[in-house]
Structure 1
Amino acid sequence: MTDTVSFGYEDVAPAEKTERVGGVFTSVARSYDLMNDAMSGGMHRLWKDRFVRRVKPREGEQILDMAGGTGDIAFRLAAHGAAVTVADINPAMLEVGLERAAKRGIDGLVWTEANAEVLTFPDRYFDAYTIAFGIRNVTDIPQALREAHRVLRRGGRFFCLEFSTTLWPGFKEVYDAYSHRLVPKLGQLLAQDADSYRYLIESIRRFPDMPTFEAMIRDAGFVQTRVEPMLGGLVAIHSGWKI
């Protein structure tokens, strides 16, 4: 890993990024789902539905949902009969997820505090690995991808839902203006935290574009990699297989 990594538009030491990202998600955990609705006009629900359809969870499969603290993806996976382990580095996010699961009467999920870069699960344990809107907050992304590959069984599949860079002319400029000017204000209004949401928007801008991230997935050992852009690439589903 390099001597510095991005924290929004700043370049910081890796340990500092890990600490500061932890602070961001501890701060926003209680308002995270409300802000997702506000920032995307509810579209994040459709993106997640589409994502899970691509994963094609099946009865009895073991699936690791990484950075899945509040449960949004895990609930959808479990509805298809999969055995889901929800892992997140942030205990505040996991606490919110546990409360949401209890309110919905969803049992059977395994909840665990885990760092995507240093998983404690054995080799070749899971049938699928999912991560939604979490990979860009990981300090050492290549290492997290290697860990995803390690814990998957042969024939296992990797799926990542993440923001990227839209290629639609005109839309990119509109979205940039909206996100930089309005999202921090929404964060202040709904979560009393403009700075955390400013970071989350900046982290999207610093995340690798679709071809670069696909190459990173291949470098981790995955084959048959694929990118499915939505809204011209504003959001993308990345996938790959372990053989």
Structure 2
Amino acid sequence: MNDRVSFGYQDVDVSEKTAMVGQLFSKVAAKYDIMNDVMSGGMHRVWKDRFVRRVKPQNGEAILDMAGGTGDVAFRMAEHNADITVSDINQEMLDVGIERAMDRGIDGLVWSRQNAEELSFSSNVFDAYTIVFGIRNVTHIDKALKEAHRVLKYGGRFYCMEFSTTEWPGFKEIYDLYSHKVMPKFGGMIAQDEDSYRYLAESIRRFPPMPKFEQMIRDAGFSRTRVEPIFGGAVAIHSGWKV
């Protein structure tokens, strides 16, 4: 059994990764959303709007937004009067989200600290499961996908948006240069944490390509899987159904 997993370009002991990721996000939580704007030129807002349109949250639906600590996606879905549970393994990220919700006058959200690999929720309780830019940080992605399948009702839908590998000719080199050289510098200047943003860039490169990740979603039990590349495949929306 392989007891080593990727942490950026490093391979670390499987027992260490969850804590290492937790420490990283504790450090960047306060500046996380500002950094998203800086790193994507504000495009993450457009991508998240598109993502929520694909999810199509409905009035009264129970939706689990995993790795959604700061509330960015949950706030968008709450506008459709869905019942949102926001979960994250990192309490500091949840604290930022709770404070943002209070500042915006958004109530009715449930905030729950959860490990995506071992959810405390009962089986067959959610109409939709969403996870945005979070699954690549999970130690055992296959376990997280199986847990997503377990907690969904039959007929429930899974939606994941994650960074991927651009398919635009010539853009990969530019994107790699930006990710590995510019992004960490922004992290150092704005979040006073260059190393964390170096890891985030590296973690994108270590994440499975779109076809492989789609197969992992199928292997977890989902049907009618689909991949929607965005920005030349630099970002992708993955979906599947529990039937």
Fold match by TM threshold 0.5:
yes
**Distance in 1 of aligned mates of 2:127 and 2:171:** 37
Matched, 1:148 2:120: no
The one-letter code matched in structure 1 to 2:38 is A
**Superposed CA offset, 1:162-210 (max 9, x none):** 0000011111110100111101100000000000000000000000000
Give the corresponding residue for 1:80.
80
Give the deviation of 1:14 after TM superposition.
Answer: 1.4
Unaligned runs of 5+ in 1: none
Question: How far apart are 1:151 and its partner, in Å?
Answer: 0.1
State whether structure 2 residue 16 is matched by structure 1 residue 16.
yes
Matches of residues 1-243 of structure 1 in structure 2 within 5 Å? 2-243=2-243
CA distance in 2 between counterparts of 1:143 and 1:33 reads: 27
Secondary structure at the counterpart of residue 15 of structure 1: helix
SS class of match (1:182): helix
CA distance in 1, matches of 2:110, 2:202: 32
How much does 1:117 deviate? 0.2
For residue 154 of structure 2, give the secondary structure of its aligned residue in structure 1.
Answer: strand
The separation in 2 between residues aligned to 1:175 and 1:87, in whole angstroms, is 30
Structure 1 residue 2 displacement after superposition: 2.9
Q: How many residues align?
A: 243
% of aligned pairs identical?
A: 70
Q: Which runs of 4+ in 1 moved over 2 A?
A: none
Q: Which blocks of at least 5 consecutive residues in structure 2 are unaligned? A: none
RMSD: 0.6
User: Which deviations, in whole Å up to 9, do the C-alpha atoms of 1:27-75 show, x marking residues without a partner?
Assistant: 0000000000000000000000000000000000000000000000000
Q: Which amino acid aligns with 2:150?
A: R
Query: Matches of 1:78 and 1:36 in 2, distance apart?
Result: 21
Residue identity opposite 1:227 in structure 2: V
